[in-house]
Amino acid sequence: MVVKIKILVLILMMFSGCTPEYVPSLDLDSEQSVIISPTGDPDGNVGELEATFLSSKNKFTFSESSISSNTFSVSYVSTAQNFDIFKWVFEGGYVSSSSSSTTSSGTTIVEGNINDPNTSSQIGVLVEYRDGFGRYDVTHAVANSASFDVNTKSDYVAYEYLDNLKVQNSSNPNGWINNSALWYSPSDTSTTTFSVCENSIVGFYDNDDFTFVEPIEISKEFSNFGLSKKNLIFEYKIDFIVLPTISNNLKRISLGYTPNLSSTSSVTIEAGELWSNSSNESTDFRQVIIPLPLISNFNLSFTKYPSVINADGRQAHPFNVCLRNIKIVPSE
The residues near 94 (Cβ < 8 Å, ≥ 6 apart) are 102, 106, 108, 127, 128, 129, 130
Lowest mean pLDDT: which of 10-19, 52-61, 143-152, 160-169? 10-19
Asked if the model's pLDDT at residue 2 lies above 60, the reply is no
Q: Are 155 and 137 in contact (CB under 8 A)?
A: yes
Distance set, CA 62 to CA 53, 227, 297 (Å)? 26, 18, 16
Mean pLDDT, residues 183-210 taken together: 74
Structure confidence at residue 17 (pLDDT): 43
Give the residue, 173 or 271, on which the prediction is more confident. 173
Mean pLDDT, residues 216-227 taken together: 93
Mean pLDDT, residues 287-306 taken together: 95
- What percent of the chain lies above the pLDDT cut of 90? 56
Fold held by 34-161: Immunoglobulin-like (2.60.40)
Which pTM was predicted? 0.79
Asked if the model's pLDDT at residue 268 lies above 70, the reply is no
Length of the chain: 332
Tell me the three state secondary structure of residue 67. coil
Fold held by 163-330: Jelly Rolls (2.60.120)
DSSP character for 200?
S
Structure confidence at residue 25 (pLDDT): 41
Residue 299: burial class (beta carbons within 10 Å; 0-12, 13-18, 19+): middle
Structure confidence at residue 37 (pLDDT): 95
pLDDT tens sequence across 170-189: 888 889 999 988 899 887 65
DSSP 251-269: --EEEEEEE---TT-----
The CATH 2.60.120.260 domain(s) of the chain lie at 163-330
217/304 Cα distance (integer angstroms): 6
* Residue 46 main-chain phi, psi, to 5 deg: -135, 170
- What percent of the chain lies above the pLDDT cut of 70? 83
Rounded to 10 degrees, the C-alpha dihedral 89/129/328/137 comes to 10
Asked if the model's pLDDT at residue 292 lies above 50, the reply is yes
Distance set, CA 165 to CA 64, 186, 198, 238, 257 (Å)? 11, 7, 12, 17, 18
DSSP 9-55: HHHHHHHHHHSPPP-PPP-TTHHHHHH------TTS--S-----EEE
Asked if the model's pLDDT at residue 95 lies above 50, the reply is yes
Structure confidence at residue 151 (pLDDT): 98
The CATH 2.60.40 domain(s) of the chain lie at 34-161
Structure confidence at residue 72 (pLDDT): 92
Lowest mean pLDDT: which of 131-140, 152-161, 267-276, 282-291? 267-276
pLDDT tens sequence across 107-130: 999 999 999 999 999 999 999 998
Asked if the model's pLDDT at residue 147 lies above 60, the reply is yes
230/57 Cα distance (integer angstroms): 22
Tell me the three state secondary structure of residue 247. coil
DSSP character for 84?
S
pLDDT tens sequence across 223-247: 999 888 999 999 999 988 777 777 7
Tell me the three state secondary structure of residue 208. coil
